[in-house]
Amino acid sequence: MRRSIVHEGAGQLTYEIREIVAVAKKMEAVGLSVTWENIGDPIQKGESFPSWMKEILADLVAEDASYAYSDTQGIRPTRQFLADLVNARGGCQITGDDILFFNGLGDAVAKVFGFLRREARVIGPSPAYSTLSSAEAAHSGYDHLTYRLDPSRSWLPDLDDLEAKVKYNDAVAGLLLINPDNPTGVVYERDFLERMVDIARRYGLFVIADETYANITYNGAKPCSLSQVLGGVPGLSLRSISKEYPWPGARCGWIEVFNKNENPEFRRYIDSLLAAKRLEVCSTSLPQLTIPRIMGDPRYPAHLERRRELFGSRARQAFAALDGIPGVKVILPQGALYFTVLFEPGALDGDRSLPPANAEVGALVSGLVDRVAPDKRFVYHLLASTGICTVPLTGFCSDLPGFRMTLLETDDAKREWIFQTVAQALRTYLS
């Protein structure tokens, strides 16, 4: 090639949640029975799409309008419906024109970071959901800039660390937060969110809040949306039906833009996202059409409440199984669909292993565990020994060792088996 054709950020595009699948598939091919605890797809883990929602979908499938393109921003009445939901919360008031649909938040994230000026950096949490951290890193061509979520404070961000990094790096133009958080399950209450927004206000940053799990909070969480505390700070919220209906295969997410007209630079940036979407014409129409009918249905609040209780009780179940094991730390999640186990400093030192399920799996794992991070080494051994496929925490833009599993297993006996088997494996591995 007479010129390099590889983007400066190409090396930053990592997604451990799916990369572990290739390893697990190899082990499956030599007889390992794999339990997929790596990916947050409720449907794949056995949750059924509610039948009343299927009926709404069936009605829409029968309507010709469902097969047309939509406005670039998305279906107009759906955008108005979502704007009304935002406005009813109090705080920032928006119109349907402040909403822009994407083909899933994956698409939204690619645009949000892809159309940001390269020198403008967005600081985000560590650990972090890797789609966000990788997209920011790829856009800049450097490692993602992060602030620390502090496990000694139930995974709340270390605001001194955040402020210092913002203050001494004038490339930072945006602040990213995930609320409720993936992978830690921390939920920011109003006071805390106000303090984060205050940092953004004082240093002239815009705020990106990933609120994918906004309606999946439990165990005493007092959730608060960005729009309720943002005041006049420019910001955007990322939302999706993937985890909430749940319908991840719909690839339907949207951004809610706040205070676009408060700042000409922010307005130009948001306009560029719309212009980029225009080149693609629009996002998929059918899932958008379901939103007013499903979210506006009188059965929807009860549906959300049932799932809050369900995931709250599964989080407590995981906590009961894994709390108190020497060498690990667990924190009871208050939101989202995951459970993170953290290793205490030094716990993984030394040459540790677990008995593999069979000799071929053993041969595979021994070829993998050299030269990988210590938590990934545990994840590989856990997989080879028990078939339980989790994701190392160092795959979430973090230098804290640990791993993430999910709260999604629908079979009660199997879920208890997963938590107990992981607990037993930890005891053996760390003894």
Ligand X SMILES: Cc1ncc(COP(=O)(O)O)c(C=O)c1O
Work out the burial of residue 10: count CB atoms within 10 Å of its CB; fewer than 13 is exposed, 13-18 middle, 19 or more buried: exposed
CA distance 239 to 254: 5
307/377 with CB nearer ligand X: 307
List residues near ligand X by CB under 6 A: 40, 104-106, 129, 131, 178, 182, 210, 212, 240, 242, 248, 253
DSSP labels for 332-399? Answer: ---BSSEEEEEEPTTTT-S------SSHHHHHHHHTTSTTS-HHHHHHHHHHHHH-EE-EEGGGGS-S
Other residues' Cβ atoms within 10 Å of the Cβ of residue 232: 11
Residue type, 52: W
140/179 with CB nearer ligand X: 179
Angle at which helices 130-140 and 104-114 cross, to 10° = 30
131/285 with CB nearer ligand X: 131
252/384 with CB nearer ligand X: 252
340/385 with CB nearer ligand X: 340
Q: From 311, 272, 315, select the one nearest 47 (Cα to Cα).
A: 311
The contacts of residue 108 (CB under 8 Å, 6+ apart) are 102, 238, 253, 254, 255
337/365 with CB nearer ligand X: 337
CA distance 56 to 245: 12
172/250 with CB nearer ligand X: 250
155/429 with CB nearer ligand X: 155
CA distance 342 to 109: 27
CA distance 384 to 288: 41
